[in-house]
């Protein structure tokens, strides 16, 4: 098989890149390790930055998002039993949208169905080769047979545990990591959200988050030790602990119910440099991970897609490789800024195992300053709605 761009990974970043390139007449093939049903069954992020919203519209997959997505003008920051609101719209003239990653992925797959896009599922032993030459190719195993795709470029959109990053020589890669000493216990429930906007809560017992996927589907999180046994958390125990950590005004009116999905996610900050090696380009979680505090993960993948999409379009349509050559530098500049924001927000909102009373007071003081400083609120809002591309 021959294509122009071989995309490893059939999640939202790989699908979005393929969709955008298709609209420019550039051929792609997407390889996915799991089945389509498995990909669509994953529960992931749900807050879209302004820039990602525009990119999905540009890709022609924004219609259902615009009908069903929930526009948020701000978010609430809670400190024990009180809180304040950050007004994104007032401070930046931009908004964010709550629209689940699963729904984004579904819209992209439905768009692929319309143009009968080449997608290969259930692949094994994917191996990008010749990426430092002018003739790269990708081999994979399916149905007991080895297949080969010859291509011009390879886009590694296969996540943190994928094969793409490892294809860059170890003596070339430089990796930076911060593993946090806690996780997020998340519950999805078929209940109305407790608030019309997201609540981030700092509490001496640990962080909590009240979010949503739609008007009848809520997503709640509490900070726990990352090695906490999941079976030790009954639904009742989760709701009781969540109520302790959020303001009484929210705890008194929260609607609880059986969990549809429950899991504990570890938190880490991770960046791998460079994001390009020869004809291989890393996109999204293949190159960087951020803690979910601040909702940057999916949005960072979208900004990578935008840079690579523009670079490949210039290469094929204008015979200009300048943007491709600048891909890693431009993407990493934005990645590090978003990583800084997620790291900062995580540090001021969570309870660390070795945290002293002094440390807790510093967090409280920083949040008190944030409450009263328009400049500090503007910095948070600018980062939350998404830094410029």
Look up 204 and say whether it is catalytic. no
Q: Check residue 45 and give its pLDDT.
A: 72
- Say if 231 falls within a structural domain: no
- Say if 328 falls within a structural domain: yes
- Say if 325 falls within a structural domain: yes
- Say if 370 falls within a structural domain: no
Q: Check residue 173 and give its pLDDT.
A: 97
Q: Residue-wise over 318-333: b if at least 16 C-beta within 10 A, else e?
A: eeeeebbeebbebbbe
| Catalytic residue chosen out of the listed positions 109, 140, 180, 200 | 200
- The range of the structural domain enclosing residue 124 comes to 5-70+98-177+268-345
d(CA 59, CA 108): 9
DSSP string of 170-230?
TTT-EEEEEEEEEEEEEEEESS--SSSS-EEEE-TT--EEEEEEETTEEEEEEEE-TT--G
According to DSSP, the β-strands at 280-282 and 276-277 are antiparallel
Quick one: which of 72, 30, 25, 28 has its CA closest to 47? Answer: 72
- Say if 333 falls within a structural domain: yes
- Say if 358 falls within a structural domain: no
Task: Quote the longest CA-to-CA distance of the chain.
Answer: 63
Q: Check residue 81 and give its pLDDT.
A: 78
Q: Check residue 82 and give its pLDDT.
A: 84
Q: Are 280 and 167 spatial neighbours (Cβ–Cβ below 8 Å)? A: yes
Q: Check residue 80 and give its pLDDT.
A: 79
- pLDDT 10s per residue in the chain (389 long)? 999 999 999 999 999 999 999 999 999 999 999 999 999 987 777 899 999 999 999 999 999 999 999 999 999 999 877 899 999 999 999 999 999 999 999 999 999 999 999 999 999 999 999 999 999 999 999 989 999 999 999 999 999 999 999 999 999 999 999 999 999 999 999 999 999 999 999 999 999 999 998 899 999 999 999 999 999 999 999 999 999 999 999 999 999 999 999 999 999 999 999 999 999 999 999 999 999 999 999 999 999 999 999 999 999 999 999 999 999 999 999 999 999 999 999 999 999 999 999 998 999 999 999 999 999 999 999 999 999 99
| Catalytic residue chosen out of the listed positions 296, 315, 330, 350 | 296
Look up 72 and say whether it is catalytic. yes
Domain count of the fold of the chain: 1
Look up 315 and say whether it is catalytic. no
Quick one: which of 14, 270, 20 has its CA closest to 154? Answer: 14
Q: Check residue 385 and give its pLDDT.
A: 97
Residue 280, strand partner residues: 154, 277
- Say if 17 falls within a structural domain: yes
- Say if 360 falls within a structural domain: no
CATH number where 155 lies = 3.50.50.60
Q: Check residue 46 and give its pLDDT.
A: 85
DSSP string of 255-266?
PP--EEEEEEEE
| Catalytic residue chosen out of the listed positions 72, 262, 315, 330 | 72
* Distance set, CA 6 to CA 138, 140, 324 (Å): 8, 12, 16
| Catalytic residue chosen out of the listed positions 292, 307, 315, 327 | 292
């Amino acid at each position: 098989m021959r294509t122009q761009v071989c995309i490893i990974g059939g999640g939202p970043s790989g699908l979005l890149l393929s969709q955008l390139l298709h609209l420019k007449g550039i051929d792609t093939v997407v390889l996915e390790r799991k089945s389509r049903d498995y990909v669509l069954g994953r529960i992931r992020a749900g807050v879209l930055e302004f820039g990602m919203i525009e990119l999905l519209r540009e890709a022609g997959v924004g219609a259902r998002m615009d009908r069903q997505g929930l526009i948020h003008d701000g978010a609430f920051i809670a400190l024990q039993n009180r809180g304040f609101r950050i007004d994104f719209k007032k401070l930046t003239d931009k908004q964010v949208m709550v629209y689940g990653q699963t729904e984004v992925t579904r819209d992209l797959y439905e768009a692929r169905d319309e143009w009968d896009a080449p997608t290969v599922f259930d692949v094994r032993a994917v191996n990008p080769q010749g990426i430092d030459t002018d003739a790269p190719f990708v081999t994979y195993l399916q149905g007991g047979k080895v297949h080969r795709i010859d291509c011009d470029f390879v886009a590694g959109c296969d996540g943190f545990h994928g094969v793409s990053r490892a294809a860059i020589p170890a003596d070339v890669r430089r990796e930076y990591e911060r593993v946090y000493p806690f996780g997020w216990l998340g519950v999805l429930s078929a209940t109305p959200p407790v608030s019309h906007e997201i609540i981030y809560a700092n509490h001496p017992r640990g962080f909590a988050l009240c979010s949503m996927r739609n008007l009848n589907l809520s997503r709640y999180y509490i900070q726990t030790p990352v090695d906490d046994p999941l079976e030790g958390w009954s639904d009742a125990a989760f709701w009781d602990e969540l109520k302790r950590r959020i303001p009484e005004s929210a705890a008194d009116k929260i609607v609880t119910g059986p969990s549809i999905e429950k899991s504990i996610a570890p938190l880490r900050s991770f960046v791998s440099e460079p994001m390009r090696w020869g004809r291989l380009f890393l996109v999204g979680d293949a190159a960087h991970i951020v803690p979910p505090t601040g909702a940057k993960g999916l949005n960072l993948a979208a900004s990578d897609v935008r840079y690579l999409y523009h670079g490949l379009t210039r290469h094929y349509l204008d015979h200009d490789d300048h943007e491709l050559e600048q891909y890693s530098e431009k993407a990493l500049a934005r990645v590090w800024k978003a990583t800084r924001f997620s790291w900062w927000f995580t540090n001021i909102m969570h309870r660390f195992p070795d945290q002293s009373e002094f440390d807790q007071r510093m967090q409280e003081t920083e949040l008190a300053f944030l409450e009263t400083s328009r400049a500090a609120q503007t910095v948070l809002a600018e980062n939350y709605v998404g830094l410029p591309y």
